[in-house]
Amino acid sequence: MGAPDIRKADHTDLRRIVRSLGQKAYFRDRLSRQEAGHGFLLVAWERNTAVGDVYVWLAPAEEPELRAHLPGVALLTHLEVIAGRRNEGIGTQLLWAAEDRLFATGHEQVALGVRLDNLAAQRLYHRRGYVEWPHGQVATTEVVYRPDGTYERRPEVCRIMVRQLGRNRFR
């Protein structure tokens, strides 16, 4: 297959996003945050099917360590690709699209958190030029959305990785 079409989602996309990615409450929340100017949701589309997404968090970080050490830095969150389409470069293309949009709007850095056990993602981010920050691991909260619209908050610990934008495009 060719490269997916990656674009900013809007509320008219919600039904199609949920059809392939589930998590209706999550995507409804992110689209509302986007409307309020707190971030933006990028979705990778193939034909009319959502095959991946990433949310770019522009509001102040929830974690005090991030607010203290990276004030005003955009955070990449919830990067995912549907099962059966992983390891095809879609995640990398979503990263590029988010980074390009951030750089074009004046952002010099971007950060993300990655679970300690997610070695494949850590390798991807290292290849893209992300480096682990020097302030140690951060306790965060994973929110797991259920099909019935409820959710569960679970503690997790993440490595924080940071990339300078506009340098070393790695394409």
Burial class (CB in 10 A: 0-12, 13-18, 19+), 14: middle
β-partners of residue 163 are 110
Among candidates 137, 142, 136, which has minimal Cα distance to 155? 142
38-88, pLDDT tens digit by residue?
A: 999 999 999 999 999 999 999 999 999 999 999 999 999 999 999 999 889
Question: Which CATH class name applies to 5-164?
Answer: alpha beta
- Over residues 103-154, the pLDDT tens digits come to 999 999 999 999 999 998 999 899 989 999 999 999 998 888 887 878 899 9
**How many CB atoms within 10 Å of residue 90?**
23
pTM of this prediction? 0.92
Indicate if the pLDDT at residue 170 is higher than 70. no
